[in-house]
Structure 1
Amino acid sequence: MELKIRNRSRWMQVIALLMFATLVWAYAQIEWGPPNTITPRQEVVRGSILAADGTVLARTLGKQRVYPQGNLAGQVIGMLGDSGGLEGIERTYDDTLKAGQNVQLTLDPAAQAMAEAALARGVQKHRAQYGALVMLETRSGRVLAAATYPPFDPGNWRGKPDTQERVKNRAFLDAYEPGSTMKALTIAAAINDGLTTPGTVYSTPMQRHVGGRWGHNIGDAVAHPPTLTTQQVLRYSSNVGMSHIVEGFSYPKLRGYLAAYGFGQKVDMPGAVTAQGILKPIEKWNDLERATNSFGQGVSGTTLQVAAAYNAIANDGVYVAPRLIDGAPAGERREVVGAAAARSVRDMLKSVVVEGKFAAIDGYDLCGKTGTAQVATSSGYSDTVFKSTYAGFFPCDAPRVTLAVMVHGAQGQYQGSEVAAPIFREIASGMLSGWGTAPNVTAQPPK
């Protein structure tokens, strides 16, 4: 009997030890995890690029990068190489996309497609070399469309000799003299400082010498009366008239206005590489420089900068930094001119459109201004190559969209009114139709 009790006691000790060992092993698994376990690595799929409404512009299927919308916004999207992004969003957001995160743009696919189609027709019709445009949402500064022609197909670029030219986002990178589109911006500044009014009258011969002994003659291209009001200076696009209007500005004051409009400043817009353009330092200013800057010569900017500057006039004098990435923090807002000066110029631009006819749409109030600038070369200004431009916004009284258009190297007709204004009108017509905007019976019909 005693032996049985000892044996049973030993078995109970053995069982207790086994249970203790089991508990220790279980605790070790909880604390340190199973030994020698290797978790298989999961490959991260490159993120997608989306438009504002969720339309897929770029995605990865298997090991293939595909672009479902073809060349839509091709220069904005850019291209992908074997090791990563090479241009555009594919490059600037390469790390984000490699981490599998999506990037959503502010682009409106319908507006982008409409803008690209209108730009293509305009460039082809006038046998130009290329063109670019930027469309902004007035209040927010969101880039609704950014188009460059000829187009670029991000899914079919390898082996093509013109890839570097086609992929260049000219809307953000090509800096040029904006020409007469600058006049409305300068007049807004002069009205803001009390230097002129829409009805102020100036002596305007077809030529005027500016700058004293070392100056030059400034001339006008469009015949006009010998005296012009400020409104008519804008209507006839008179350089001579502008030289009078800015005489009351000190050099730093006018240069400060141009800088506030964004010229000579790189646009701080996440997701895009942008050019700065040229605004000469104040040490290089004189009477002639002041005059030529006032009508868009001697200063340069991109189509994006021109659009943003005009957006300040549309936005009651407040500059709103453009945005390309949806959800990105809102950029800088700064007052360039007061609301009264901006609205005064808006009224003037409305009349310019009606009288100019090329951008007018019967029953709708549009605001805009043409520009035609000779292209600067190493040997002076070209007599055969021009930048044809147009900038404006609509509807005039409550602007929703601001648009700037540039066409380079049009053949035959090259005036901004003949080349760029019809592109503006076509896009404005499409946008107004898309919004379901009814005609305004009080709008002035084109004459």
Structure 2
Amino acid sequence: MRHPFFRASDYQLARRASIIAFLALVSFASLAVALANLTVPSSPAPMPPDVTVRGRLLSADGQILASGPLQRRQYPHGPLAAQVVGFVGASGGLEGIERGANDRLQRGEPLNLTLDTRVQAAVEQVLVDAMARTDADFASVIVMETRTGNLKAVASVPGFDPNAWQKVPPDRWRNRAMLDEYEPGSVVKALTVAALLNEGRTMPDATYDTPMWRRYAGATINDIVPHPGRLKTRQILRYSSNVGMTRLVENVPPGVLHRYFTAYGFGQPVRLGLPAGDGLLRDPEDWGALAQATLSFGQGLTVTTLQLVAAFNVLANSGQYVAPRLIVGAPAVTRTVLSEATAASMREMLHGVIDDGIKTKAELPGYHVGGKTGTAQVAVNGRYSDEVFSSTFGGFIPADRPLFTVAVMVRGAKREYQGSQLAAPIFRDVTSALLSLYAIGPEVELRTAP
């Protein structure tokens, strides 16, 4: 007999409630399992036996430059900084950091480079445009952070895509910014003057007889840019006077200049995880009067673009040499080369070199830079060529308190090969990108001596 208050509908409702409760319990259990799977990482799937783990390469701005195992290595940015990044083969790294840091990468260790991909891309485009305009053979630029030595861009053009490195001639793989050694030309005059100023052997406003040509140590030394017959030291830089440089180094013991050139890093190895040229700086015992004179204006020695940017950085960095750094966390190496007063005086004079000579070619309105150009004949088959030149520039921005130091080298331009025509505008365009990317505002007007 049924209970008088029990109906079939009550039974159905109770059954439905039980089912709903069960389903809720199952749903809750499933959710708990899913949550556990999310919060407790499962063991990674084993790597196939024929795949070798390899660490990633990252830029300072967080971009992936190289990733994936050895057999499936990828370079997401393609040609960007290709000579620095390099590429791999079947057994390991073949070029660039891939080769230089192969052991660390093979252990799966990631490496962070100091490069800023935004700066690197801008610099490479500036060089591509300049080469197309002048039909040059190749070019390199390095941008260095003044205080730290961190390399923000290391560009060598023409380049290649490391994803397809087999499809280009091997000379495209060459990291010319670090490996190519060349006579730098008149850009070295600034470093010579800084050394002599630091030794008290000249002053910015000391005056010298400077005809347009002079017989010196058995040779005829000529100037190219017309100038007055008497020049101050600062004007010797302004007019890039070879004759003036002979006056400055006359009777200076060779060991003095050699000591400073060595301290700037010339003829010395640069250790930063990649092969780099040492350049050539002969022993002072081999210098005669003529050799010292030509060395003082950038002939008879060779440097790399890496060495040039580090040397010019001494002027920008209050007289301190800072070893270039490419890998984040690498130890800082510094040494004192010039006094702060000498470096400050050089920055003021090199600002005058730009503003009084090639202002529109080397700097943007509202900004102030310091720097020096160079143009050097290239030795071809043992003789200086009248057709092949290296165009160089070393400089820094802003002029009074530099943040970045930049070195430029272009070889074999068929047109506009003078440093003031080619290397200086490249410097201007590179620093324009730096000003924009790092939001550096215009400066107040700087005063330079007449």
Q: CA deviation at 1:41?
A: 8.8
The aligned residue for residue 382 of structure 1 is 385
1:183-212 per-position Cα deviation (integer Å, ceiling 9, x unaligned): 01110111111111111111111111222x
The aligned residue for residue 304 of structure 2 is 302
CA distance in 1, matches of 2:100, 2:70: 23
What percent of counterpart residues are identical? 49
CA distance in 2, matches of 1:148, 1:206: 37
- The equivalent position to 1:126 in structure 2, one of 111, 134, 147, is 134
Q: Does 1:326 align with 2:328?
A: yes
The aligned residue for residue 58 of structure 2 is 50
Q: Does 1:184 align with 2:190?
A: yes
CA distance in 2, matches of 1:323, 1:126: 32
- Work out whether residues 52 and 70 of structure 2, in 8 Å CA contact, stay in contact via their aligned partners in 1: no
- Work out whether residues 182 and 303 of structure 2, in 8 Å CA contact, stay in contact via their aligned partners in 1: yes
- The equivalent position to 2:318 in structure 1, one of 316, 319, 324, is 316
CA distance in 1, matches of 2:283, 2:447: 43
- Work out whether residues 112 and 328 of structure 2, in 8 Å CA contact, stay in contact via their aligned partners in 1: yes
- Work out whether residues 266 and 274 of structure 1, in 8 Å CA contact, stay in contact via their aligned partners in 2: yes
- The equivalent position to 2:275 in structure 1, one of 273, 276, 284, is 273
- Work out whether residues 364 and 443 of structure 1, in 8 Å CA contact, stay in contact via their aligned partners in 2: no
The aligned residue for residue 264 of structure 2 is 261
User: What amino acid is aligned across from residue 196 of structure 1 in structure 2?
Assistant: T
CA distance in 1, matches of 2:318, 2:256: 20
Q: CA deviation at 1:246?
A: 1.2
Instruction: Kindly report which structure 2 residues correspond to 1:21-170, keeping only aligned pairs within 5 A, or say none.
Output: 44-60=52-68, 63-160=71-168, 162=169, 164-170=170-176
Question: SS state of the match for residue 414, structure 2?
Answer: coil
User: What amino acid is aligned across from residue 111 of structure 2 in structure 1?
Assistant: V
CA distance in 1, matches of 2:419, 2:216: 26
CA distance in 2, matches of 1:365, 1:394: 7
- The equivalent position to 1:409 in structure 2, one of 408, 412, 434, is 412
Q: Does 1:239 align with 2:242?
A: yes
User: What amino acid is aligned across from residue 55 of structure 2 in structure 1?
Assistant: G
- Work out whether residues 134 and 405 of structure 1, in 8 Å CA contact, stay in contact via their aligned partners in 2: yes
The aligned residue for residue 354 of structure 1 is 355
1:118-147 per-position Cα deviation (integer Å, ceiling 9, x unaligned): 111111111101000111000010111000
CA distance in 1, matches of 2:415, 2:303: 25
CA distance in 2, matches of 1:147, 1:174: 13
Gaps of 5+ in 1: 1-38
- Work out whether residues 363 and 443 of structure 1, in 8 Å CA contact, stay in contact via their aligned partners in 2: no
CA distance in 2, matches of 1:44, 1:126: 45
User: What amino acid is aligned across from residue 103 of structure 1 in structure 2?
Assistant: L
- Work out whether residues 363 and 444 of structure 1, in 8 Å CA contact, stay in contact via their aligned partners in 2: no
Q: CA deviation at 1:222?
A: 1.0
Q: Does 1:172 align with 2:215?
A: no
CA distance in 2, matches of 1:122, 1:40: 47
Question: SS state of the match for residue 233, structure 1?
Answer: helix
CA distance in 1, matches of 2:238, 2:370: 12
CA distance in 2, matches of 1:141, 1:281: 28
Question: SS state of the match for residue 321, structure 2?
Answer: strand
CA distance in 2, matches of 1:159, 1:136: 31
- Work out whether residues 362 and 444 of structure 1, in 8 Å CA contact, stay in contact via their aligned partners in 2: no
Instruction: Kindly report which structure 2 residues correspond to 1:273-292, keeping only aligned pairs within 5 A, or say none.
Output: 273-292=275-294
Q: 1:96 to 1:40 in 2, by over 3 A?
A: closer
Q: Does 1:337 align with 2:341?
A: no
- Work out whether residues 52 and 71 of structure 2, in 8 Å CA contact, stay in contact via their aligned partners in 1: no
CA distance in 2, matches of 1:62, 1:398: 44
Instruction: Kindly report which structure 2 residues correspond to 1:195-214, keeping only aligned pairs within 5 A, or say none.
Output: 195-211=201-217
The aligned residue for residue 371 of structure 2 is 368
**Aligned-pair RMSD on alpha carbons?**
1.7
Question: SS state of the match for residue 374, structure 1?
Answer: strand
CA distance in 2, matches of 1:287, 1:105: 44
Question: SS state of the match for residue 139, structure 1?
Answer: coil
The aligned residue for residue 5 of structure 2 is none
- What TM-score results when the alignment is normalised by the length of structure 1? 0.87
- The equivalent position to 2:437 in structure 1, one of 410, 434, 437, is 434
CA distance in 2, matches of 1:439, 1:112: 23
CA distance in 2, matches of 1:159, 1:243: 50
CA distance in 2, matches of 1:66, 1:85: 13
Gaps of 5+ in 2: 1-45
Q: CA deviation at 1:61?
A: 6.0
The aligned residue for residue 230 of structure 2 is 227
CA distance in 2, matches of 1:434, 1:133: 17
The aligned residue for residue 23 of structure 2 is none
The aligned residue for residue 220 of structure 2 is 217
Q: 1:209 to 1:67 in 2, by over 3 A?
A: same
- What TM-score results when the alignment is normalised by the length of structure 2? 0.86
- Work out whether residues 144 and 153 of structure 2, in 8 Å CA contact, stay in contact via their aligned partners in 1: yes
Once superposed, which parts of structure 1, at least 4 consecutive aligned residues long, lie more than 6 Å away? 39-42
User: What amino acid is aligned across from residue 63 of structure 2 in structure 1?
Assistant: T
Q: 1:285 to 1:118 in 2, by over 3 A?
A: same
1:364-388 per-position Cα deviation (integer Å, ceiling 9, x unaligned): 1111110000002333211000001
Q: CA deviation at 1:40?
A: 9.9
CA distance in 2, matches of 1:388, 1:207: 23
1:357-413 per-position Cα deviation (integer Å, ceiling 9, x unaligned): 210211111111100000023332110000011110000111100000000011122
User: What amino acid is aligned across from residue 320 of structure 2 in structure 1?
Assistant: V
Question: SS state of the match for residue 245, structure 1?
Answer: helix
